[in-house]
Amino acid sequence: MPMHDWTRVDAGIFHAFHHDWITELARALNRGLLPSEYYALAEQQAAGFGPAILTLQAPDSDERDPPRAGGILTRTRPATRFVAQVPDAEFYRRKKSSIAIRHVSGDRFVALLEIMSLGNKSSRKAFPDFLEKAFEFLDSQIHLLIVDPYPPGRRDPNGIHGAIWEELQDEPFHLPADKRLTLVAYEAGMMTRAYIEPIAVGDSLPDMPLFVEPDNHVLVPLETTYQASFSNIPQRWRKVLE
């Protein structure tokens, strides 16, 4: 199933799909993709991200249950179209204030998956707030996977990764002319790395890495979960999108 043109429907239709997709992603991760000591949790909001995001958490080392069957982390470098990195020293030069982000249960907050909506880009306040929270997460070594199904606008002329990266590096990132939607995974460690896969309306979604610790990630099944969520959209709106 190809990525659809979500600009053809109003924000409320995408909002319903967005929540379903987050739920499907959490189910897939918790049903064997993640190692047993990690879990995914859909939340309404986390430190400024929202309206619905997916967080990955792990118990503190002294609270972990005995190992159980679960997924295996991948150490092989992800094969995305673009890879960029910024040294730790350069990243910290634009740091304002850092925050320690933990789940209310006391479990460690290690990664976040965000599916962007028009609301993230819609106002002069919302977009800078989104960027600032992204920097704070990376600064706290919380890994990110961002899916942006909307084309660039005046606040992000080279997509969400272009907007994030221009604050970290003097070298700008330019989206390909034929691929204007962005999938990007950030590995936050001693070296902040970005794995960028631009796509277009009509493209199938590749599996994308979601890091849970430096050098270790799981591959997130974006395509199969997208299909499952899209099947729940009322037929009236599926016809518009298809």
Confidence at residue 207, expressed as pLDDT on a 0 to 100 scale: 97
State pLDDT tens for residues 216-236: 999 999 999 999 999 999 999
Confidence at residue 120, expressed as pLDDT on a 0 to 100 scale: 85
**Residue 66 placed within a domain:** no
**Residue 64 placed within a domain:** no
**Residue 188 placed within a domain:** yes
**Residue 1 placed within a domain:** no
- The model's confidence at residue 240, banded by pLDDT at 50, 70 and 90, is very high
Q: What is the mean pLDDT of residues 155-175?
A: 89
Confidence at residue 103, expressed as pLDDT on a 0 to 100 scale: 34
- Note down the domain range covering 100: 6-58+76-241
Q: Which two tokens stand for residue 234?
A: 């009322």
Q: Which residue has the higher pLDDT, 99 or 211?
A: 211
State pLDDT tens for residues 21-69: 998 998 999 898 988 888 888 876 554 455 555 666 666 555 444 444 4
Nearest to 222 by CA among 242, 197, 239: 197
Q: Give the span between the Cα atoms of 114 and 22, in whole angstroms.
A: 9
Total domain count for the chain? Answer: 1
Q: Which residue has the higher pLDDT, 205 or 71?
A: 205
Q: Give the span between the Cα atoms of 89 and 97, in whole angstroms.
A: 15
Q: What does DSSP say about strands 82-87 and 191-199: parallel, antiparallel, or unpaired?
A: antiparallel
Q: Is the pLDDT of residue 11 over 60?
A: yes
- The model's confidence at residue 70, banded by pLDDT at 50, 70 and 90, is low
Q: Which two tokens stand for residue 8?
A: 């053809």
Q: Give the span between the Cα atoms of 184 and 201, in whole angstroms.
A: 16
Residue 29 identity: L
Confidence at residue 57, expressed as pLDDT on a 0 to 100 scale: 67
Q: Give the span between the Cα atoms of 77 and 83, in whole angstroms.
A: 10
Q: Which residue has the higher pLDDT, 125 or 199?
A: 199
Peptide bond into 51 cis (omega under 30): yes
What is the enclosing helix (H) or strand (E) of 197? strand 191-199
Helix, strand, coil percentages in the chain from 3-state DSSP, rounded to 5: 35, 25, 40
Confidence at residue 104, expressed as pLDDT on a 0 to 100 scale: 38
Q: Give the span between the Cα atoms of 240 and 79, in whole angstroms.
A: 34
- C-beta of residue 109 within 8 angstroms of C-beta of residue 57: yes
Q: Which residue has the higher pLDDT, 241 or 190?
A: 241
State pLDDT tens for residues 122-163: 778 889 988 988 988 888 889 999 999 999 999 999 999 999
Nearest to 109 by CA among 57, 158, 46, 161: 57
**Residue 69 placed within a domain:** no
* pTM, full prediction: 0.85
* Burial (0-12, 13-18, 19+ Cβ within 10 Å), 202: exposed
Give the number of other CB atoms < 10 A from CB of residue 13.
17
Confidence at residue 47, expressed as pLDDT on a 0 to 100 scale: 46
Identify the three-state secondary structure at position 233: coil
Confidence at residue 44, expressed as pLDDT on a 0 to 100 scale: 60
Most distant CA atoms of the chain, gap in Å: 52
State pLDDT tens for residues 79-136: 898 898 886 544 443 433 332 323 334 577 888 899 998 888 877 888 998 898 898 8
**Residue 67 placed within a domain:** no
**Residue 169 placed within a domain:** yes
Q: Which two tokens stand for residue 182?
A: 């962005």
Confidence at residue 37, expressed as pLDDT on a 0 to 100 scale: 82
**Residue 120 placed within a domain:** yes
